[in-house]
Amino acid sequence: MSDTIHIHPGQVGHEVAHDDHHHGHHEQSFVTKYIFSQDHKTIGKQFLVTGIIWAIVGGLFSVLFRLQLGFPGQTFPILETVFGKWAEGGVIKAEFYYALITMHGTVLVFFVLTAGLSGTFANLLIPLQVGARDMASPFLNMLSYWFFFLASIVMISSLFLHTGPAAGGWTVYPPLSALGQASIGSRLGMDFWIVSMALFVVSALLGGLNYIATILNMRTKGMSMTRLPLTIWALFFTAVLGVLSFPVLFSGLILLLFDRNLGTSFYLSDIVVNGEILNNEGGSAILFQHLFWFLGHPEVYIILLPAMGMVSEILSVNSRKPIFGYMAMLGSLFAIAILAFLVWAHHMFVTGLNPFLGSIFVLLTLLIAVPSAIKVFNWLTTLWRGNIRLTPATLFAIGFVSLFISGGLTGIFLGNSTIDIHLHDTMFVVAHFHIVMGVASMFGMFAGIYHWFPKMFGRYLNSTLGYIHFWVTIVGAYLIFWPMHYEGLAGMPRRYLDKSSWASFSQFGDLDKMITIVSIIVFAVQLMFVFNFFYSIFKGRKVTSTNPWGANTLEWTTPINPGHGNWEGEIPEVHRWAYDYGKDGREFIPQTEPVGANESKH
């Protein structure tokens, strides 16, 4: 095991320091450098670009079905242009509406906010911030991306099936998802969905195990666990959650595959569908929900924790102040990770769950608000008496905190089973999780992209476009989702296509129009961000110093465009935690600087 890596001008060493099986130096072809790359930074970028493409697809779906929701009576020729037979005459067919919401949910939850978010930043930041030349296993890391890519191909293909993609909601509850007779989307499209998700789970596991192994074993000299930046802690807990919960989803989906194709009855019992009496007896439809939500709830923290970690880091760097209560932040991350496994049945209060069991889940669910509150107060205190640089990344981080507060508080309504009886499966739920999990995590992701873009590409994103992006998005997000809570308070069920035939839910026509229009604008601005992203990769302003934000963490000790192996020469040694900002009158003290004799203690 050598600690150095040999870099020749114009050629980047391929092998990694900890790799005992040296392949020797060789010229990197385009394929090994950009496609089947084992460099964690390139893999991170691959996750990010794939995630962005998915986000455009998933976002576009929501805009298109929002057209139908906002203007129920009207026809939109563009819908027929895009969807063909599924929107004949410019009106989305009901069965295809359900396919669209299913794809929107699946794509954004798994492909964008899991793979695109933690895939990108775990890959980019873990080796750079713990001080390693690459992941524990660069090869498995590469496989992790390519399994994700395969999953993407299968999911995309399902869109072009004759019977359409899966249409049972992103939660794919059987029996609906198990019976082709019950829904056209439960035919071949559902098998594609299961296969795609199985591949996705493989990708998540390969990635997650690698992240954990790297964080535990490959920290540089002096980087004790309590000196790790909070981003790394957050990504660590994210990986642990994924490794422990994704296999449960996998098993649930395999049983579903059996029920669909092999005549088993894990989830099916007493069914007469379209006049056809099925033979299945003794299964439990609710069993699937337990298996699904055993992943499904940790999944929302898999999405949120990386955003929390990055926001902590970005707020601290740009307030020029240490993160307030590092140990409390760490403890609350830990508490959230543990509790994430103990609250899944709060998605099932009205399934006939034993009321006593329900009350236990109420207690555990509301308990999770305590560590969440600690985090919010600590972020606020980090800003307090800072000297805040309002970069686009900082603004998105502040936006994240605002959205996390708003969405977190509505979670207290839903986690309380008494109120959940009324609000369950209404638009209130849609508003809640879009704010707290969807938009907030997107904000965390944007903050991360604006902040680490210089490290990724050696150039800056255009910040004027960044400011426009932030302001339109935060105003739009609140305009879309805040009034939506009222639809839910009125009891309007989610996943309703046309409310006009209902006496109880038809009073929100104008509101639905407004939401649709705003969502189109917000989507357009995201496209502008995408343009900014790709334009800036090639034409953005060049970064001229290695540490443009004046940050303490190790990634800013690497060259502006680090090669494979990250550091030329020795890996730096760490002497302090990552948050010595504004200490002893100095603006920042990098982690690599030894503790001085006269330095004050904290």
Partner 1 sequence: MQTVFIVAILLLGFLITFQIAKASEYVAVLRGEEKAKKQTNKVNAFLLLAFLILGLIGVYYCNETLKGKILGEAASNHGKHIDTMLQITLVLTGIVFVITQVALFWFAYKYQQSDDRKAYYYPHNNKLEVIWTVIPAIALTVLVGFGIFYWFKITGDAPKDAMEVEIIGSQFKWEFRYPGHDGPGGKGVFGKKYFKNITGDNPLGQIWDDPANRDDVYVTGEPMHLVVNKPVRLVINSKDVIHDVGLVHFRMKMDAVPGTPTTMWFTPTKTSKQMAQELGKANFVYEISCDQMCGKGHTGMRGEVIVETQEQFDAWMATKQPLYDKLFVNKPAVTDSTHTPDSTAKSVTAVLLKK
Residues 507-536 that bind partner 1 (CB under 8 A): 507-508, 511, 524, 527-528, 531
Q: Which residues 68-97 are close enough to bind partner 1 by CB under 8 A?
A: 76-78, 93-95
Pick the closer one to partner 1 by CB: 13 or 164. 164
In the list 71, 75, 161, 169, the residue contacting partner 1 (rule: CB under 8 A) is 169
Amino acid at 148: F
DSSP per-residue letters across 323-363: PTTHHHHHHHHHHHHHHHTT-GGGG-TTTT--HHHHHHHHH
In angstroms, the Cα distances linking 462 to 453, 537, 546 are: 11, 10, 19
Q: Considering beta carbons, is residue 98 or 293 the nearer one to partner 1?
A: 98
Alpha-helical segments (H) within 89-187:
94-106, 120-130, 138-158
Q: Could you tell me the CA-to-CA distances from 114 to 307, 515, 521, 587 in Å, in that order? A: 11, 26, 25, 35
- The least CB distance from residue 320 to partner 1, in Å, is 4
Instruction: Give the nearer residue to partner 1 in terms of CB position, either 420 or 555.
Output: 420
Site residues for partner 1, window 103-162 (CB under 8 A)?
Answer: none
Among 70, 127, 138, 175, binds partner 1 (CB under 8 A): 175
Binding partner 1 by CB under 8 A: which of 369, 456, 530, 537?
Answer: 369
Binding-site member from 342, 405, 537, 543 for partner 1 (CB under 8 A): 405
Distance CA 78, CA 553 (A): 49
Tell which positions 29-58 bind partner 1, by CB under 8 A. Answer: none
Q: How far apart are CA 122 and CA 235, in angstroms?
A: 6
Mark residues 347-366: x for contact with partner 1 by CB under 8 A, - for none.
---xxx--x--xx--xx--x
Among 60, 342, 367, 537, binds partner 1 (CB under 8 A): 367
Residues 183-242 that bind partner 1 (CB under 8 A): 183-184
At its nearest, how many Å lie between partner 1 and the CB of residue 66?
14
> Taking CB under 8 A as the rule, which mask of x and - marks residues 412-441 in contact with partner 1?
xx--xxxx-xx-xxx---------------
Binder among 36, 334, 341, 467 for partner 1 (CB under 8 A): 467
- As a whole number of angstroms, the distance between CA 30 and CA 307 comes to 32
Choosing from 386, 444, 565, 590, the residue that interacts with partner 1 (CB under 8 A) is 386
The radius of gyration of the chain from alpha carbons, rounded to an integer in Å, stands at 24
Return the structure tokens found at 209: 């195990």
596 binds partner 1 (CB under 8 A): no
For residue 426, the cross-strand partners are 493
Q: With contacts defined by CB under 8 A, how many residues of the chain interact with partner 1?
A: 130
- CA distance readout (Å), 247 to 132, 206, 305: 28, 12, 20
Please state the closest distance from residue 333 (CB atom) to partner 1, in A. Answer: 14
Nearest distance in Å: CB 583, partner 1: 5
Q: How far apart are CA 155 and CA 52, in angstroms?
A: 16
Q: Out of 153, 216, 225, 380, point to the residue binding partner 1 (CB under 8 A).
A: 380
For 40, what's the count of Cα atoms within 13 Å in the CB-facing half-sphere? 29
Task: Compute CA distances 122 → 197, 215, 245, 302, 599, whole Å.
Answer: 20, 10, 18, 12, 33
The count of other CB atoms within 10 Å of the CB of residue 275 is 6
Neighbours of 139 (CB within 10 A): 13
Q: How far apart are CA 318 and CA 549, in angstroms?
A: 8
In the complex, minimum distance from the CB of residue 185 to partner 1, in angstroms, rounded to a whole number: 9
Candidates 22, 27, 29, 384: give the one binding partner 1 (CB under 8 A).
Answer: 384
Cα within 13 Å of Cα(89), Cβ side: 4
Taking the least distance from each CB to partner 1, the nearer of 386 and 438 is 386
Residue 59 binding partner 1, by CB under 8 A:
no
Cβ atoms of 278 and 325 closer than 8 Å: no
Which residues between 488 and 507 bind partner 1 (CB under 8 A)?
489-491, 493, 495-499, 501-505, 507
Question: What are the distances in angstroms from CA 173 to CA 166, 176, 256?
Answer: 11, 6, 10
Closest CB 439 distance from partner 1, rounded Å? 15
Taking the least distance from each CB to partner 1, the nearer of 36 and 467 is: 467
Which residues in 568-587 contact partner 1 (CB under 8 A)?
579, 581-585
Query: Using the rule CB under 8 A, is 173 a contact of partner 1?
Result: yes
| Nearer to partner 1 (CB atom), residue 119 or residue 411 | 411
Output DSSP code: residue 220.
P
Among 213, 328, 530, 543, binds partner 1 (CB under 8 A): 328
Site for partner 1 in 252-311 (CB under 8 A): 268-274, 277, 281-286
In the complex, least distance from residue 197 CB atom to partner 1, rounded to whole angstroms: 18
**Nearby residues of 81 by Cβ (< 8 Å), 6 or more positions away:** none
CB of residue 243 to partner 1, shortest distance in Å: 29
Structure tokens at 391: 């970069």
